[in-house]
Amino acid sequence: MAEAGPWAADIITLFPDLFPGPLGASVLGRGLADGLWTLSAHQLRDFATDRHRTVDDTPSGGGAGMVLKPDILAAAIDAIPTNGRPRILMSPRGRTLDQAFARELAAGPGAIVVCGRFEGIDQRVIEARGLIEVSIGDYVLAGGEVAAMVMLEAAVRLLPGVLGKAESHADESFEHGLLEYPQYTRPPVFEGREIPPVLVSGDHGKIAKWRQEQSLALTRARRPDLLGE
C-alpha cells in the first residue's frame, strides 16, 4: 500500500496570486515549506473554452450581477483528483465554520476549495459535484478567497508538527466547549496591573482550577450559547 502524502489543499479561484498569502507566513508557512502540507491554486479561467476566457453569464430569471458557469467550474473541479478529500464551496449560506469542523477537516487528507465570485455559482454544479457549502460568518465578502484562507488556517494549524507541540492548542477556545482563559506573561506588573498571584504561585492544581473557573466565567458572560444557557 502506498504511503499517504501530506495534507493537501487545492483552491479553484479567479485570483490564484492571492495564495498562499497569510498561509505562507509564520508556523503555517514553515509547515508548508517543510512539506507538512501542500497548497495549489488553480486559475478558473484556464478552463474557459472561448478566446475571452469567459467564466460567467447573466443570472437566469434576471437580476443584477453575474453567475459562474456550471460547465466551466465543473471542468475545473473534475481536473483535480479528490483522493478522498471533500469538495468545499465558501458560501455565506453554508454551515458555519467552527472548531469541530476544523478538527474534522484536519483529520482527513485535505480539501478541494471553490472560491466563488460575482453573484455566486450555478446551483446545478453544487448538486452535481457534491459541494459542501461552508460559511465563516453572517456577512458577505467580495469573494471566497479570504474565507478559504480562514478555514484552511483553522485546519492546518491542527496538523501534527505545524505548531510544534500538540499541547499548543489543547487549551484554546472551543477545544473543550469553553472560551480560553486569560493569558499573562512578564513583566509581573504592567501599568499598575499585576499578574494574578495564583499564576506565579507554582501550585499547578490551583492554577488549573483558576483557569477552568475563568474559562467558565468568560463563556457564561460572552457565549452562553456554548453552555446551552
* Model confidence pLDDT, tens digit, residues 10-62: 999 999 999 999 999 999 999 999 999 999 999 999 999 999 999 999 999 99
pLDDT of amino acid 229: 80
Q: Average pLDDT, whole number, for the chain?
A: 93
Does residue 9 contact residue 152 with C-beta atoms inside 8 Å? yes
Domain finish residue from 129, 156, 183: 156
Domain finish residue from 156, 179, 206: 156
CA dihedral of 208, 180, 168, 25, whole degrees rounded to 10: -160
82 and 37 together in one domain: yes
The model carries a pTM of 0.90
190 and 126 together in one domain: no
Tally of structural domains, the chain: 2
Does residue 80 contact residue 42 with C-beta atoms inside 8 Å? yes
Looking only at the bridges linking them, the beta strands covering 193-194 and 189-190 are antiparallel
Could you tell me the residue range of the domain that residue 214 belongs to?
171-227
| Amino acid present at 226 | L
pLDDT of amino acid 167: 45
CATH of the domain at 95: 3.40.1280.10
Is residue 59 situated within a structural domain?
yes
CATH of the domain at 209: 1.10.1270.20
Interval 95-143: pLDDT, tens: 999 999 999 999 999 999 999 998 889 999 999 999 999 999 999 999 9
Report whether the peptide linkage leading into residue 187 is cis, meaning its omega lies within 30 degrees of zero: yes
144 and 182 together in one domain: no
pLDDT bucket at 151, cuts 50 / 70 / 90: very high
Is residue 162 situated within a structural domain?
no
Q: Which of 111-115, 214-218, 225-229 has the lowest mean pLDDT?
A: 225-229
